[in-house]
Amino acid sequence: MPRAFAEIAFTPSVVAAQERYGSRRANHGFTLAAEAGNRLGAAESAFIAERDSFYQATVSQDGWPYVQHRGGPPGFLRVLDPGTLAYADFRGNRQYLSVGNLNADDRLTLILVDYANQRRLKIWGRARLVHADQDAALLARLALPGYSARVERGVVIAVAAFDWNCPQHITPRYTLAEVEALASPLVEENRRLKARLADLAAPG
């Protein structure tokens, strides 16, 4: 059980809600855990490397939450070390809501979902925006050869906590690549059967 997650997430109002709905005793164990849960291990690193998207939450200067989808080739969110994540921030609609929010408040939360296997990882952290004139080497490290999107900046995240979330209510969904992998044995069998039928139908 990750202690750092509880220290961030279990505010007095959250604790009051847990008490109101009878889950405080079950959740109290998080606060007593020996493991801090703020250093990414092999399981987290492998999971992150396989993701092609995530959801990112920031908060505006007026206190409004804002959630944005971020996507790219699998592994575009990089684990630089056990306490640091980073990704290339591609040019979008140029509203800069997340960027503006992070300039005022560097706290963010990421949710990464593996729909096919019903797994979900939540990460809390503090973000730092990095431009090419500040650290060209870092942006080069985050570059994605063959991906045509324009990189405007890098986002470096100091991990404060993470938690593997409950898999309940995650509806299984599959990417095209996952569907093709699942269907490939059937496709190959169909090819072989067609070839066999052609041989049987051939004269002589």
Tokens found for residue 192: 């072989």
4 and 93 inside one domain: no
52 and 79 inside one domain: yes
77 and 114 inside one domain: yes
CATH number at residue 70: 2.30.110.10
- Give 62-86 pLDDT, tens digit per residue: 999 999 999 999 999 999 999 999 9
120 and 80 inside one domain: yes
- Give 137-163 pLDDT, tens digit per residue: 999 999 888 888 888 999 999 999 999
Domain containing residue 196: 174-204
CA quadruple 51, 53, 59, 64: dihedral, nearest 10: -130
58 and 15 inside one domain: no
